[in-house]
């Protein structure tokens, strides 16, 4: 991984980055309640402003909750974007605040599932679906046990610098387009793999299995990597707590009888589990992503 340093951002073409960084550093000093109020206001603007993200969120919620009346779906979109605004301001705390504040801001529950897996001689994959608090949970977990994760390198130096702040407590980033050898080696050396499973990576590397009843392009890497590395798959869900009380990372019991010899069945089971958690807190799933971008048999786009 090529690091982007603050020295890079001293070039005149990147001076625009400094007010943004200053704002993020300012959020480190704000009380949690103030972050909540300001973030909710920022998110309300996102919900009002006509953007592709809002359009994708509206469409995804319409597809996944067809039984909801339109007024309820609109309310869900508004709640979702308010939480998105809060999470954006929370990134300043996650990436720049002292360790003690990160630990106070983001709690970890049921970490014994992770420790028990290692005590039993297994490696670990932390299956972390795309909930809004994903970054917050990842950085907090790395402060306890540095992990390895995959990411897509950003072209924009400011974004890349911020992404690299995820490694501040020892996490290792592996380029998503690189060989899996480095990833496999790190897992076998005892680092948990913080894995984001619910991504549309295109038809070539996916199978189509239901997600909220809709065929969704789903990668089968989870079962393959778990088998290759003798890893337990432990679901890892980060929740935004109400009214500025911070975040909670909860670890769940490892999947039993996983992986099987059927990667399609494994992918279907994974989507079923993710769907269960989405139904528990539907306003916290990352609806602005085009989860159903790739369609089977060249069917028309669901986002046209």
pLDDT-derived band at 1, boundaries 50, 70, 90: very low
CA distances from residue 255 to 66, 152, 222, 231, 262 in whole angstroms, order as listed: 30, 27, 12, 10, 15
Per-residue model confidence (pLDDT) at position 262: 95
Beta bridge partners of 247: 106, 240
Q: CA-to-CA distance for 123 and 168, rounded, in angstroms?
A: 23
Q: pLDDT tens digit string along 127-162? A: 999 999 999 999 999 999 999 999 888 778 888 888
How distant is the alpha carbon of residue 192 from its chain centre? 15
Q: pLDDT tens digit string along 234-251? A: 999 999 999 899 999 999
pLDDT-derived band at 175, boundaries 50, 70, 90: confident
Instruction: With a cut of 80, say whether residue 14 has pLDDT above it.
Output: no
Strand 172-175 relative to strand 148-151, pairing: parallel
Per-residue model confidence (pLDDT) at position 60: 97
Per-residue model confidence (pLDDT) at position 3: 67
């Amino acid at each position: 991984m090529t690091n982007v340093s603050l020295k890079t951002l001293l070039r005149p073409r990147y001076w625009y980055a400094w007010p943004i960084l200053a704002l993020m550093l300012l959020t480190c000093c704000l009380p949690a309640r103030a972050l909540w109020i300001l973030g909710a206001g920022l998110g309300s603007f996102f919900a009002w402003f006509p953007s592709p993200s809002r359009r994708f969120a509206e469409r995804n919620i319409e597809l996944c909750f067809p039984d909801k009346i339109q007024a309820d779906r609109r309310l869900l979109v508004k709640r979702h974007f308010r939480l998105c605004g809060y999470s954006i301001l929370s990134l300043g705390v996650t990436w720049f605040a002292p360790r003690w504040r990160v630990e106070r801001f983001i709690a970890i529950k049921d970490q014994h599932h992770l420790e028990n897996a290692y005590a039993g001689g297994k490696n670990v994959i932390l299956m972390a679906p795309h909930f809004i608090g994903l970054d917050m949970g990842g950085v907090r977990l790395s402060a306890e046990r540095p992990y390895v994760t995959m990411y897509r390198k950003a072209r924009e130096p400011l974004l890349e610098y911020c992404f690299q702040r995820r490694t501040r407590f020892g996490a290792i980033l592996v380029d998503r387009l690189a060989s899996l050898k480095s990833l496999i080696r790190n897992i076998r050396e005892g680092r948990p793999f913080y894995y984001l499973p619910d991504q549309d990576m295109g038809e070539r590397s996916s199978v189509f299995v239901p997600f909220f009843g809709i065929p969704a392009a789903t990668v089968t890497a989870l079962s393959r990597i778990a088998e290759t590395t003798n890893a337990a798959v432990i679901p890892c869900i980060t929740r935004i707590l109400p009214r500025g009380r911070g975040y909670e990372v909860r670890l769940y019991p490892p999947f039993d009888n996983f992986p099987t010899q059927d990667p399609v069945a494994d992918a279907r089971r994974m989507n079923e589990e993710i769907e269960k958690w989405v139904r528990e807190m539907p306003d916290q799933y990352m609806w602005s992503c085009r989860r159903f971008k790739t369609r089977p048999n060249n069917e028309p786009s669901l986002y046209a």
